[in-house]
Amino acid sequence: MLLRWFRRRRIHRTPFPPGWRVLLDRHMRFWSTLTADEQGRMEDELRFFIAERNWEGCNGLVLTESMQAIIAAQACRLLLGRPEDRFGNVSTILVYPSGYVAGPPQTSTLPGGRVQVLAGAGMPVLGQAHERGPVILSWSHTLAGAIHDQDGNNLVLHEFAHKLDMANGAIDGTPRMSSAKQAREWHEAMTTARQRLVHDLQIGLNVPLRPYALTNPGEFFAVATEVFFERPGAMQEWDAELYRVMAEWYRQDPVGRDEWMA
């Protein structure tokens, strides 16, 4: 802990690389929506994030500091209102040039002892978040998610939402809550939204969440996180209560930010 404190103090005192600021402005629209104070906090957080993890390029990918900055900025976007959740359960990040074939099946134990399989061996995937292991990302899809940040599809937000979910145990779509009331409202909103998504898809309505959200509650939370940050207006219009509980948990209001920028 003392070593981390000294490292963060040194990082905070070091000027933010000007090239990174240009890079983030160029590739990430949301960066320009941040206030000067928010950018300052994010600049520290993403550097802490990079320094405190093991990084590895896979399948011949040469992983650069600029690539790390783009990944870290997207992950730290989730923490803008929750600095206490600094992804302490993420020690390693593996980055592939594009999609890859998954390894052994990943499972999670649900209440009652039922085990659900989250990813199967030999399955082609774009990314994974292992409960007791690394976050794995496709670089091509990571960059696309950074550039096209209004389509509701963002690999980094998705996988790191899983890590927030895992912080309190099983991957069940319910991250760590601050009170029983918040947990109850979250469960009610998520259950209702999943039922609405099933209904709306069955009758052919245009909905902001893709069908993959119905895989299990953990995937619902991860997909909803992508949409919350990238298509917040569409989520709020589709299900105002879902938007409200997510805004309360993340302590962010992307709709309000978009209206302020308009």
Give Cα 155 distance to the centre of its chain: 8
Q: Which of 168, 145, 105, 170 is nearest to 225 (CA)?
A: 145
Q: Which of 178, 165, 5, 156 is nearest to 76 (CA)?
A: 156
For residue 68, CA distances in Å to 51, 109, 149, 173 come to 10, 32, 18, 27
Q: What are phi and psi of 184, to 5 degrees?
A: -65, -45
CA distance 239 to 220: 14
Tokens of 136: 């794995």
| Buried residues in 79-109 as b, exposed as e (16+ CB within 10 A) | bbeeeebebebbeebbbbeeebebbeebebe
- Number of CB atoms found within 10 A of residue 251's CB: 11
CA distance 49 to 86: 8
CA distance 238 to 222: 17
Least reliable range by pLDDT among 30-44, 92-106, 198-212 = 92-106
Q: Say if residues 166 and 129 touch (Cβ distance below 8 Å).
A: yes
* Span 74-104, pLDDT tens digits: 999 999 999 888 899 999 999 999 978 776 5
Least reliable range by pLDDT among 114-118, 195-199, 215-219 = 114-118
pLDDT score recorded for residue 213: 98
Mean pLDDT for the stretch of residues 147-168: 96
If pLDDT is split at 50, 70 and 90, which confidence band does 2 have? confident
Mean pLDDT for the stretch of residues 217-226: 98
* Span 121-150, pLDDT tens digits: 556 788 999 988 899 999 999 999 999 999
Mean pLDDT for the stretch of residues 99-128: 62
Beta bridge partners of 203: none
Q: Is the pLDDT of residue 43 over 60?
A: yes
Tokens of 99: 């999609």
Higher pLDDT, 20 or 123: 20
| DSSP string for 87-138 | -TT--EEEEESS-EE--S-EEEEPTTS-EEEEE-TT-EESEEE-TTS-EEEE
Query: In whole numbers, what is the pLDDT of the chain averaged over residues?
Result: 90
Q: Is the pLDDT of residue 232 over 50?
A: yes
pLDDT score recorded for residue 49: 96
Q: Which of 214, 208, 204 is nearest to 243 (CA)?
A: 208
Mean pLDDT for the stretch of residues 221-233: 98
If pLDDT is split at 50, 70 and 90, which confidence band does 6 have? confident
pLDDT score recorded for residue 106: 56
Only one residue has tokens 């937000």, namely 157
